[in-house]
Amino acid sequence: LPKSELNSLLDKLSKLGQIVAPTKDKDIWRYKEIEDYKEIDLNGLPWFSAKTFLFPKKHTLFEYKADKIQCKDSVKPIVLFGARLCDLNSFYINDKLFLDEFEDPFYKARRESIFLVGFYCNEWFDEYCLCASVKLKHYYDIMLVDLDDKFFIISKSDKGKELIKDYEDYEHDLKEIQNHRELQKKDLWKFHESKDWEKGSSKCLSCGHCTNLCPTCLCFDIYDSPDLDMKSGKRNLEWDSCQYKDFTLVAGGHTFRETRDNRFKHRIFHKLQYFKDEFNEYMCVGCGRCTRGCPKKIDWVKIVNELGE
């Protein structure tokens, strides 16, 4: 696709749903609903991931009145345009959790309403990226690759193939994405009791910023908001974080992960070990947001690499 014809592709895409794409706002990029194509800026990785469009920060699961329950979830079709391969792979991971073994109807409705249009990284974005260490998959409807004056487009789904069926065939060898740093593969179980975790936990503020930014962290809390008559109200779902002390608080007042050390270690184990033990994949897609956005810049990749040294 010649770059000068990008708007014609965007016109086609806008018929599939509301276009959401990276825009630059002061010094950072954000995914935003696009009203004017000129707002789109593909030169950076958005600070926040796209998970809010799949898994809103807060939503009402249902409203209840006496013994009647009413679900009012409304979903609008979205075209996620210009997402990097790391963000696209978060859909692969999240689909495993919410569609494979147990199907979450709220997630499913949103997921089926999203069309994924990627933008390939010819260069890594910054020093926090580690995608090359986690073996990303080609998981999208179509992917745009920047070839200076044109885009090479790869289609993966039937919908994607249909969208570009009139375009000329083209051959191009994709170059592998390289990163500035590498995550060493380790069996973390061997280091479960290591004191080295303190390098991170001693600085950690338990603020939960890392989990909020992470595209594959989808832990949540469910709570009711009763009306004053105590007969009607809402049941809500809201993001939560394993880094908060009350995340594992249960009836009777027991907290399973009382110490910061336990919580910090749990996050890394979940990303690199527990998920791998179960699905044979990392739960990390290498976007680097957790360290990029951490107020203490805790570099867990370095901590893992140094384990046992």
Q: How far apart are CA 298 and CA 210, in angstroms?
A: 10
Binding segment toward ligand SF4, per CB under 6 A, in 31-39, 98-106, 140-148, 206-214: 206-214
Q: For ligand SF4, which is the closer residue by CB, 115 or 128?
A: 128
47 within 8 A of 28, measured Cβ to Cβ: yes
Q: How far is the CB of 59 from ligand SF4 (least distance, A)?
A: 22
Q: How far apart are CA 296 and CA 246, in angstroms?
A: 22
Q: How far is the CB of 118 from ligand SF4 (least distance, A)?
A: 16
For residues 239-263, one letter each, b for 16 or more C-beta atoms within 10 angstroms of the residue's C-beta and e for the rest, the string is bbbbbbeebeeeeeeeeebeebbbb
Q: How far is the CB of 213 from ligand SF4 (least distance, A)?
A: 6
Q: How far apart are CA 57 and CA 241, in angstroms?
A: 12
Tell me: does residue 99 bind ligand SF4 (CB under 6 A): no
- Binders of ligand SF4: how many residues, by CB under 6 A? 24
Chosen residue from 209, 234, 235, 245 binding ligand SF4 by CB under 6 A: 209
Question: Per-residue x/- mask for ligand SF4, residues 58 to 87, rule CB under 6 A?
Answer: ------------------------------
Tell me: does residue 208 bind ligand SF4 (CB under 6 A): yes
Of 86, 90, 155, 160, the residue nearest 121 (C-alpha)? 86
Query: Counting Cβ atoms within 10 Å, is residue 220 exposed (0-12), middle (13-18) or buried (19+)?
Result: middle
Chosen residue from 19, 284, 303, 304 binding ligand SF4 by CB under 6 A: 284
Tell me: does residue 285 bind ligand SF4 (CB under 6 A): yes
Q: How far is the CB of 148 from ligand SF4 (least distance, A)?
A: 29
Of 137, 136, 120, 129, the residue nearest 179 (C-alpha)? 129
267 within 8 A of 294, measured Cβ to Cβ: no
Which residues here bind ligand SF4, judged by CB under 6 A?
204-210, 213-216, 243, 271, 284-290, 294-296, 298
